[in-house]
Amino acid sequence: MRALSIAATGMLAQQTNVEVIANNLANMNTTGFKEQRAEFEDLLYQNVEQQGTQSSDTGTIVPSGIQLGAGVRTADVYRVTGQGDLQTTSNPYDVAINGSGYFRIQMPDGTDAYTRAGNFALSPEGQLVTQQGYVVQPGIAIPTTATAVTINAQGQVQATIPGQTAAQTVGQLELTRFPNDAGLLAQGNNLFTETASSGSPQSGVPGSTGYGTIQQGFLETSNVNAVSEITSLITAQRAYEMNSKVITAADEMLSETAKLGS
């Protein structure tokens, strides 16, 4: 009986849906996290009676035919790359991106990764690093004698050094853009890597055309909307229940069949 396996595909799809929602809710307070959404598509159809075929030799045709579906599949789980709210932290090394772009991070194996989580810190050598200790590219070293650090909207990093009247420019933050943000591969730890689908990275100065600006002392919160997640959770749970009802009904029909002739 096909209804059993069709309902099973429905239950599996809703299970994926709930898993994605659970991950969104779990990351509600993760800096720079982007909400994900599961999207579904119908499966192949079996043509029992082809529409448009002739139903008589006078040329009448079958208007609708019989196409039996095989259920549903998860088509993709995509990231909604909308901007999260900016939350003030007053930590000088917390930087948020207002607009599009990613910070480029050098991984321990020398490859590049990208992030929007700007909760940076200093290494013992005074280098600007992520919470995992990976160096932010291009490398920026803050002099150990610096008393204050200012990062302006264009990403210029200036350090105030005792005995000097003018602040000294010690580095320039860069942002990287992709033709298709949603195609980046999530690596965990708020990091993403380039894929064939994201397209090749382009670097630029914050504030130039198409790039976001930098806000020092702010963090970008996750863009998960709790209300819409909970509503989706309820819908997914009900859809799961209804698919399980189909299994019960199909099972009852089969058990009636088994009783025949007993």
Compare residues 36 and 137 and give the one whose CB is closer to other proteins.
Answer: 36
Q: Please tell me what DSSP assigns to residue 16.
A: H
Q: Does 233 bind other proteins (CB under 8 A)?
A: no
Q: Please tell me what DSSP assigns to residue 216.
A: E
Kindly report whether the peptide bond that precedes residue 138 is cis, defined as omega within 30 degrees of 0.
Answer: yes
C-beta of residue 97 within 8 angstroms of C-beta of residue 212: yes
> Smallest distance, Å, CB 240 to other proteins?
10
| Candidate residues 22, 26, 49, 234; the one interacting with other proteins per rule CB under 8 A | 49
Q: Does 82 bind other proteins (CB under 8 A)?
A: yes
Q: Please tell me what DSSP assigns to residue 42.
A: E
Q: Does 1 bind other proteins (CB under 8 A)?
A: yes
Compare residues 43 and 121 and give the one whose CB is closer to other proteins.
Answer: 43
| Candidate residues 92, 134, 172, 199; the one interacting with other proteins per rule CB under 8 A | 199
Compare residues 75 and 153 and give the one whose CB is closer to other proteins.
Answer: 75
Comparing CA positions, the residue from 221, 211, 209 lying closest to residue 181 is 211
Strand 213-216, strand 95-98: pairing: antiparallel
Compare residues 161 and 246 and give the one whose CB is closer to other proteins.
Answer: 246
Compare residues 71 and 171 and give the one whose CB is closer to other proteins.
Answer: 71
Q: Does 59 bind other proteins (CB under 8 A)?
A: no
CA dihedral 205, 208, 210, 214 (to 10 degrees): 60
How many residues belong to the site for other proteins (CB under 8 A)?
A: 72
Residues of this chain, 121-180, that bind other proteins according to CB under 8 A = 177-180
Residues of this chain, 90-119, that bind other proteins according to CB under 8 A = 100
Tokens of 259: 């009783």
Compare residues 63 and 163 and give the one whose CB is closer to other proteins.
Answer: 63
User: Among 6-14, 103-111, 113-121, 127-135, which window interacts with other proteins (CB under 8 A)?
Assistant: 6-14
Compare residues 167 and 233 and give the one whose CB is closer to other proteins.
Answer: 233
Tokens of 43: 């499966």
C-beta of residue 144 within 8 angstroms of C-beta of residue 157: no
Q: Does 7 bind other proteins (CB under 8 A)?
A: yes
| Candidate residues 26, 41, 88, 125; the one interacting with other proteins per rule CB under 8 A | 41
C-beta of residue 108 within 8 angstroms of C-beta of residue 133: no
Rounded CA-CA distance 74/16 in Å is 8
- Looking at the DSSP assignment, which residues form a beta bridge with residue 79? 36
